[in-house]
Amino acid sequence: DTAVSQTPKYLVTQMGNDKSIKCEQNLGHDTMYWYKQDSKKFLKIMFSYNNKELIINETVPNRFSPKSPDKAHLNLHINSLELGDSAVYFCASSQHSGNTIYFGEGSWLTVV
Amino acid sequence: DAKTTQPPSMDCAEGRAANLPCNHSTISGNEYVYWYRQIHSQGPQYIIHGLKNNETNEMASLIITEDRKSSTLILPHATLRDTAVYYCIVRANLNTNAGKSTFGDGTTLTVKP
C-alpha cells in the first residue's frame, strides 16, 4: 500500500498552460505538504496544510494554489506555467504532533 | 530551525559500515536530529531521529554527541542499494512549522563493490 501517492508521476506541458498535481495519503495524518526540488536538488517547502487549513505558505508565486478538500488530500494547481516551474514536486504528510514526514514518489514537471 | 553542515560526498565499500557526519552547532534544546535519504528518482525516505540519546532501528544507528552539536548516522553494513543522498536536518517537534526545515545539500554516499 502506497502511503503518500501523487499523480501524475510525469507531466510535460507547454508554457502558459494550467495543470494540477494530486496527492493523497492513507496514513491518517493531519498535516500535508508540497515541496519543490529543482535541478540543483535543493528541497524547499512550498505549502503546508493542517486539518485542511494553510499553516505554511513560503514565498511562492500566486500562480501556485494548493487545495485541500479533506485531511487526506492536498492538490497543487499551477496556472500559467513558466519554464522555471520545471522541477520535481513532492507531496508529503506527517502527524502534527509527531513531525516525521513521509514523502510521495514525486511528480516530474517539465515545461517546454 | 538550526542549520546543518554535511560533507558533500563520501564513498564506502560494500559490506562495511558507513559513517555519515553532521554538524548542527546551533541546535536548540527542543530540536530533534532527523535523517532522511533520497535514492535517485525517488522521494526522500525517513531513516531515524533522536533528541539526545543514541538511537537504533532496523535501518541505521544515530549517535548524538553529548553537547548535541554533531551527530553521526551509521549504516552498519552498507549495500549498493544504500547509495543515495543523505540529509541531516534539525527541527523542534510539536512545532507548527514542522515541515519548514530546509533539507540542505546533504551527503552523496556512494557504496562501491
- Which residues does chain A have within 8 Å of residue B96's beta carbon, measured at their own beta carbons? 50, 55, 96
Largest CA distance in chain B: 43
pLDDT, one tens digit per residue, over A71-112 is 899 999 999 999 999 999 999 998 874 578 899 999 999 999
Judge: B85–A41 Cβ closer than 8 Å, yes or no: yes
User: Using an 8 Å Cβ cutoff, are A67 and A74 in contact?
Assistant: yes
pLDDT(B28) > 50: yes
Q: Tell me, what's the pLDDT at B49?
A: 93
**Structure confidence by residue, pLDDT tens digits, A20-67:** 999 999 999 998 999 999 877 778 888 888 887 887 777 788 999 999
**DSSP string over B5-59:** B--SEEEEETTS-EEEEEE-TT--TTEEEEEEEE-TTS--EEEEEESSS-EE-SS
Which of B41, B45, B103 is facing A43, going by the closest CB pair? B103
Residues in chain B: 113
Residue B99 and residue A42: Cβ atoms within 8 Å?
no
Per CB-CB distance under 8 Å, the chain B contacts of A94 are 98-99
CB A46 within 8 A of CB A88: no
Q: What's the confidence (pLDDT) of residue A40?
A: 73
Cα separation, A18 vs B24, in Å, equals 41
Q: CA torsion sign, B51 to A43 to B17 to B46? A: positive
